[in-house]
Amino acid sequence: MIQRIQTVFLAICGIVFILFLFLPLKQITVEGNPVSLTALSGFNSKFSYTFTFSTVGGFNFIGIAAAVIGILCYRQRYLQIRFCYILAGISVLFICLLNFTDSVHGYSTSATVPMTTNIMCGASLICAILASIFIKKDINLLKKADRIR
């Protein structure tokens, strides 16, 4: 399981989504006070978040689950490719939700997304795509080996 490079790529995706639980995804200034938003902020905060930012936490847990399940179903390669596509979609969704939406209802805010967050989302997207490419190479290799027999 671990000797395959796609497992390493899927593990990187899982680690990125775990880090999103604790690292600031978005930094906002609400009425002069700076606030850092993590994926858990939508669940335990005094502010009323918009629907789009509240879903970031839910999609983060889906991303963690997809990475773990993708690693564990290493014998079912077609299913593993689907989980790679789910991870890539969630990474694109994160980039869009964090950069192009508002975060808090009813407050005058100014929001910035840290560069590290965008880099980590991009790294997760690239790792998910690379994992699916290497899984497809494994499938082709197994088909060639079956033909030789």
Query: Whole-angstrom Cα distance, residue 43 to residue 112?
Result: 20
How would residue 55 be classed by pLDDT, with cut points 50, 70 and 90?
A: confident
Q: What pTM did the predictor assign?
A: 0.82
Averaged pLDDT of the chain: 82
Q: What is the pLDDT of residue 47?
A: 57
Question: In this predicted model, what pLDDT tens digit does every residue of 91-113 receive, in sequence order?
Answer: 998 888 888 776 655 555 677 78
Query: Whole-angstrom Cα distance, residue 44 to residue 109?
Result: 19
CB 23 within 8 Å of CB 121: no
Question: In this predicted model, what pLDDT tens digit does every residue of 4-29 receive, in sequence order?
Answer: 888 999 999 999 999 988 888 878 77
- 63 Cβ neighbours under 8 A, 6+ residues apart: 13, 14, 17, 86, 87, 90, 91, 124
